[in-house]
Amino acid sequence: MSTQLRESEAKVQPFGSEPPAAEAQSFAETALKLGGKSEDEARRTGTLDRADDQVEAMFAARYQTSSSPAHRAVWDHEFPADLFAPEPPAVSPECQKAMDDSLAVARRHRDAGTLFGPDGKITEDVLAELGTVGYWGLLIDRQYGGQGAPFSAFARFLTRMAAIEPTLGGLASVHGCIGAVDPVRTFGSTEQKEQYLPPLASGKKLSGFALTEPGAGSDLTALRTTATLDGDHYVVNGEKLFITNAVPGRTIGLVCLIEKKPAVLIVDLPDHEDEHFQVNRYGLLALRHLHNNGLKFRNFRVPRENLLRPAQGDGLTIAYHGLNLGRVSLCATAAGAMRVMMANMIPWAKFRRTYGEAIVQRELVQRRIGRLAGLIAGCDALVAWCSWLLDQGFRGEMECIIAKIFGSEAQKEAAIEFFMKTHGGRSFLRGHPFGENVHEYLAPCIYEGEGEMLGMAFFKSLIKEHGKSYFEPIGKALAASGIKKPNPMNPAHAWALRSALVPYAEWRMREAVTPRSHPSFPGLPPRLEAHARFAADGLQRSRLEISGAMVKHQLKLADRQCRMAELSQRVQDLLVILATSTWAGRQSSDLVHDAADILCQDLTRKLTGKRPTDAYYRAVTKLGERIAEGGFEASTGIEPDPILMPYSQ
């Protein structure tokens, strides 16, 4: 099982429990039909909705989305403050040694200039050497040759690896989180685990996950690759696109349609291309140190025993499951990449002089350094919080979406607004880390789900339970009465909806008479405690606005993407403030406190529309000055690149 779903833990629902009826319409499907959408769109949405329900059913009720801290922070009257206080992970000595040795291997090859081959890709020698020290098996249980690392330890470790070489950190995530490792660990039979996990742990086989197709990206209902049973084999036909780590000889989880239903086959790709299997190589500017290719299958045969058979759900269930791990890993690698940006900004800011003074003394540059520190603190906080929740057993879908969106947007802002602008024209010289990596900095906004699309998925999860409880009965009453455009002022409409409206009216009454909770956050520095209280209060207040939007737009809410995205982002920002302030307040470093305070102030102004005060400018520039003078613990040990084209000053 995965880190957050171990078979021995009672918190996991038995796989034999009753799944949602396949023919039952989801809340979203019903709403779309009543809202006038086509049968095809409603059906496709319903397919994804049911896949989500099937993933949810894998978790005991107390660990499902409706019991998650993000959901409860908005809808519960008792604020779940205890779920925003992650504990540091416990790591075995053997696991810690594997991590330390992996970092040493990466650092040695980086310093020797032997990480990349003539093709610019990570060399096979480096990949093999990392396998000998246990890198590829960090998330695989020890009984199968792995290290059994808690995911929270693995995620924090990725930040350290990404600070040496982000490609290696990203590859570990592809292999262990969204590649073949998680599907086999979580959904594989005993025989499949025994066959596949040992070579995946040793690095003899590295893995990827083949989901995306030329016409199927965010719309996973558009899958076209098929697998037809022929005796003891499935015969696969179709094409995959943008598959990381997809080269001959590796192992992939292949998403395809079997009898018109999504399924996942574990496939050992042949060592060489032939008439049944070809690699489609294209010029991708991102992921330049990895192999990212398309795959074409023509009557390609896969043993039937390679089919993963989840007790609940189908191939989309398997695909959805690993995404949360990958989203947190993305945030972790962004934190490492931004540390490298900071390590390179400071020497240049000290070297570059304008009007007789180094630009490190300029307020604008100091502000950039201070704000960059805030983004790093936010990513570190989200990684600690989300990975801890996954280890505790939570599904963590909403929280991991926040981490992905914040991490990718933070890295984009850091790269463009702070790193590039501070280095000026030198950013575009060949060999400069910005110019060489700009696509790597921007592409995470698309990886693991494009940000705004994920924001709407977050909002959908946020309102799903509320909608099912209070709006679904109204929708069914409308359908039964044939009312297309409900008008509460119409007596006939009011009479037809009288029973269905009662639960919502009772909820609104409870909201009117029940005071909001005022959670305490003991042990935090006063300024961070104030941020935590602001966020908690804002989250509690948001439920009435969200419910009001559902009332206002009714069945057309699915078409109000801009409104959904805006509401979603505000809730996400409040949760980032809360997670950052509670995490940072438990750290010993004053600089971390200051960095978290800056980020929380930035997000608070974004939410309130207030202008920066002089006190804020003093705080952020002072933070930047202190970091430039004495370093930042978060970036200690990172060697900056040489200054390009230095000149006499």
Q: What is the full DSSP assignment across 329-392? A: HHHHHHHHHHHHHHHHHHHHHHH-EETTEEGGGSHHHHHHHHHHHHHHHHHHHHHHHHHHHHHH
Chosen domain end from 261, 278, 308: 308
15-29, 233-247, 397-411: least confidently modelled range: 15-29
Lowest mean pLDDT among 170-179, 189-198, 514-523, 569-578: 514-523
- Residue after which a domain boundary falls, among 177, 203, 229: 203
**Claim to verify: residue 229 and residue 189 sit in the same structural domain:** no
Q: Of the candidates 203, 236, 260, which is a domain's last residue?
A: 203
pLDDT at 640 over 80: yes
- Give me the residues paired with residue 26 across strands: none
User: Alpha carbon of 585 to those of 85, 259, 519, 542, 610: distances in Å?
Assistant: 10, 53, 16, 25, 25
Residue 164 and residue 220 in one domain: no
**334-380 tens-digit pLDDT:** 999 999 999 999 999 999 999 999 999 999 999 999 999 999 999 99
C-alpha separations of 69 from 72, 86, 152, 218 in Å: 5, 12, 17, 26
Alpha carbons 307 and 311: distance in angstroms, whole number: 12
User: Within a domain: residue 297?
Assistant: yes
Domain membership of residue 616 (yes or no) is: no
Residues 261 and 197 in one domain: no
User: How buried is residue 555: exposed, middle or buried, by Cβ count under 10 Å (0-12/13-18/19+)?
Assistant: buried
566 C-beta neighbours (distance < 10 Å), count: 13
Output phi, psi for 605, to 5 deg.
-65, -40
Task: Tell me the backbone φ, ψ of residue 139, rounded to 5 degrees.
Answer: -95, 5
580, pLDDT greater than 50? yes
pLDDT of 594 above 80: yes
Mark whether 107 and 199 lie in a shared domain. Answer: yes
197 and 296 together in one domain: no
User: Which CATH number fits the domain that encloses residue 116?
Assistant: 1.10.540.10
Buried b (16+ CB within 10 A) or exposed e, 568-585: bbbbbbbbbbbbbbbbbb
Q: Are residues 120 and 195 in the same domain?
A: yes
pLDDT over threshold 70, residue 27: no
The span from the CA of 49 to the CA of 511, in Å, is 29
Distance CA 331, CA 337 (A): 10
Per-residue pLDDT tens over the stretch 52-109 = 788 888 899 999 999 999 999 999 999 999 999 999 999 999 999 999 999 999 999 9
Verify that 135 and 186 share a domain, yes or no: yes
- Amino acid at site 521: F
Q: pLDDT tens digit string along 110-153?
A: 999 999 999 999 999 999 999 999 999 999 999 999 999 999 99
15: pLDDT strictly greater than 50: no
Co-location of 179 and 240 in the same domain? no
Question: Taking 80 as the threshold, does the pLDDT of residue 487 lie above it?
Answer: no
199 and 220 in a single domain? The answer is no
- Residue 636: pLDDT band (50, 70, 90) is low
Domain-embedded: residue 100: yes
Q: How far from 625 is each of 26, 130, 601, 629, CA to CA, in Å? A: 54, 38, 18, 6
Could you tell me if 99 and 107 are in contact, meaning their C-beta atoms sit under 8 angstroms apart? no
Q: Which residue has the tokens 């704000």?
A: 371
Sort residue 111 into left (φ over 0), alpha (ψ -120 to 50) or beta: alpha
Position with higher pLDDT, 618 vs 474: 618
Strand partners, 210: 254
Lookup: tokens for 393:
């057993």
Instruction: Tell me the pLDDT of the chain averaged across its residues.
Output: 90
Neighbours of 26 (CB within 10 A): 22
pLDDT at 8 over 50: no
Determine, yes or no, domain membership for 121. Answer: yes
- Residue (of 308, 262, 389, 312) closest to 58 by Cα position: 312
- The reply to whether 335 falls in a domain is no
Q: Which amino acid is at 26?
A: S
Looking up tokens 């505790």, which residue turns up?
A: 392
**Same domain (yes/no): 262, 281:** yes
Q: Is residue 619 within a helix (H) or strand (E), and if so which, with residue range?
A: helix 614-630
Decide if pLDDT at 191 tops 50: yes
Helix (H) or strand (E) holding 292: strand 292-303
Domain span at residue 242? 208-308
Residue 579 placed within a domain: no
Residue 195 corresponds to which amino acid? Answer: Q
In a domain, 218, yes or no: yes
- Which segment of 151-165, 309-323, 418-432, 472-486 scores lowest on mean pLDDT? 472-486
CATH assignment of the domain containing 303: 2.40.110.10
Q: Which two tokens stand for residue 87?
A: 């504990």
Task: Tell me the C-alpha to C-alpha distance, in Å, between residue 532 and each of 443, 520, 541, 604, 607.
Answer: 31, 9, 14, 11, 14
**β-sheet bridge partners, residue 405:** none
- 152 and 222 share a domain? no
Structural domains counted in the chain: 2
Contacting residues for 309 by C-beta, under 8 A, at least 6 apart:
187, 189
Residues 183 and 226 in one domain: no
Q: Is residue 138 part of a domain?
A: yes
**Structure tokens given for 630:** 């004495």
Amino acid at 171: L
Angstrom distance (rounded) from CA 400 to CA 388:
11
